[in-house]
Amino acid sequence: MDLQRLEGILSRYACQPADLIPVLQDIQDSYNYLPKDELKVVAERLHLPLAQVFSVATFFTMFSLVPKGKHVCKVCVGTTCHLKGGQRLAESLSNRLGVDIGYTTKDMNFTLETVACLGSCAQAPVMMIDDTYYARVTVDKVPKILKKYQ
Amino acid sequence: MGEVSFYINDLYTSAPVGTTLLEAVRSMDIEIPTLCHHPDLKSEGQCRLCLVEIGDWPQTRLVNSCTYPVEKGLKVQTHSENVLQARRLVLELLLARAPKAEIIQKLAAEHGISQSRFTSEDPEELCILCGLCVRTCRDIVGVSAIGMINRTPAKMVSTPFKEPSEVCIGCGSCAFVCPTGVITYTEKNGIRSIWGRDFELVACETCGSYIAPRASLEYWAKQTGDPVERYYICRNCR
Ligand code: SF4
Ligand code: FES
């Protein structure tokens, strides 16, 4: 376990029970997932039962207990994007990347996910790769976008 | 602490501030079915069986009686047509969730339901996710060895990482409190197995019958500050 890295994250917080979610978010950002040993340390340091930490870690879809890819691609399938072909977009990405929705490519480069709304319905269909938004993504734009990350 | 007066089924009554409607109703010997309520635990309103109707007709609404505190002048109906209909719906949903649970079959039958119109995802399922086990382990035992994990439809009760829990003391309180009997444990050759972990059972120094897992006795000794040896003699032999 990379204790120094974890300490770096924990040092930014007062380590109270209420810090759990932000701490887990930072770990997720830094490690691309929530490693088991790290969660045990977090429980201890935040004075929380491990059962509660595990409960929170498994509740939110932004957290993952297995390593995610280097890039996380979130395709919106909320109502508007759904009508505008979000599902088709997700399937096209799934075919291109050769990975099922919710999974990570073998080379650990991409995790493909669908989400319920990215809050940009006016630009549907929308997808997000890491922190970048892609608006009005038609299936034919997919290869060009993916190229930037390969 | 003051008293508040209100109406239950048109009867004028009163209870101390902070009493829940369920407590008030039950103190009048009116029966409301519940599955997730335990008098020693704070209610969380998970099973929805304890619904009652509050307010003045036609502006009434259904609330969980186990979590709703008494209010001055509140009108409460415990067996109105709306309540019974909602309760039957809840029972149908519970029956679809846990078709094999005897207590739910029994409650459903009492309310005239033999079959649920909803499809069952798992005909073997027993857990209704009422959370009594989690609350008992957290608030009464005080170790929080188990918790709710995932979100529906994958939500379930589990130890962290679905591995044997390091803090579990094998007391079996979670199994004891479970209304549907989904949490089980076995005892064989002086070993109790629960939540995937084996606990050595301590036999009474006097009569030789098993008392409880060593981990439980040690935990209780630590909690009370008594020497652990005191717990090596069973209650009957003390
Ligand atoms: S047996 Fe373990 S999980 Fe169950 S109540 Fe006791 S300590 Fe908690
Ligand atoms: S007893 Fe009130 S919701 Fe279960």
Beta-carbon contacts below 8 Å between A and B: 39
Cβ atoms of B171 and B126 closer than 8 Å: no
pTM: 0.89
Whether A53 has its CB under 8 Å from any CB of chain B: the answer is yes
Quick check: A51 and B150 CB within 8 A?
no
Q: Which ligand is nearest the CA of B23, by number?
A: 2
Phi, psi at residue B76, to the nearest 5°? -120, 130
Residue B160 has its nearest CB partner, among A51, A59, A61, at A51
Residue B156 is predicted with a pLDDT of: 97
- Average of per-residue pLDDT across B111-121: 94
* Cβ–ligand 2 contact at B50 (below 6 Å): yes
Residues 74-133 of A with CB under 8 A from B: none
Per CATH, domain A3-59 is 1.10.10: yes
The nearest alpha carbon in chain A to B142 belongs to A49
- Average of per-residue pLDDT across A29-55: 96
Q: Where are the beta strands (DSSP E) in A82-141?
A: 110-115, 127-129, 132-134
What DSSP string describes A29-86? HHHSS--HHHHHHHHHHTT--HHHHHHHHHH-TT--SSPPPSEEEEEE-SHHHHHTTH
Question: Rounded to 5 degrees, what angle do the CA atoms A53, B178, B100 make?
Answer: 115
Q: Which band of pLDDT confidence, cut at 50, 70 and 90, is reported for residue B171?
A: very high
Residue B102 is predicted with a pLDDT of: 96
Determine the Cα–Cα distance for residues B8 and B21; give it in Å rounded to an integer.
9
- Average of per-residue pLDDT across B57-81: 96
- Average of per-residue pLDDT across A13-32: 96
**Interface residue of B161, B166, B167, B197 to substitute, partner A, most A CBs within 10 Å:** B161
Identity at B28, one-letter amino acid code: M
Architecture of domain A71-147 in this structure: 3-Layer(aba) Sandwich (3.40)
Position B57 pLDDT exceeds 90 = no
* Cβ–ligand 2 contact at B20 (below 6 Å): no
Quick check: B149 and A54 CB within 8 A?
yes
Tokens of B179: 């209304």
Where along chain A do its domains lie? 3-59, 71-147
User: What is the location of CATH 3.10.20.740 in chain B?
Assistant: 3-110
As assigned by CATH, the class of the B3-110 domain is alpha beta
**ipTM value for the complex:** 0.90
Q: Which ligand is nearest the CA of B107, by number?
A: 2
- Average of per-residue pLDDT across B95-104: 96
Query: Distance from the CA of B47 to the center of ligand 2, in angstroms?
Result: 5
Q: Which band of pLDDT confidence, cut at 50, 70 and 90, is reported for residue A2?
A: confident
Query: Distance from the CA of B35 to the center of ligand 1, in angstroms?
Result: 20
DSSP 8-state symbol, B2: -
- Average of per-residue pLDDT across A125-146: 93
Helix, strand, or coil (residue B36)? coil
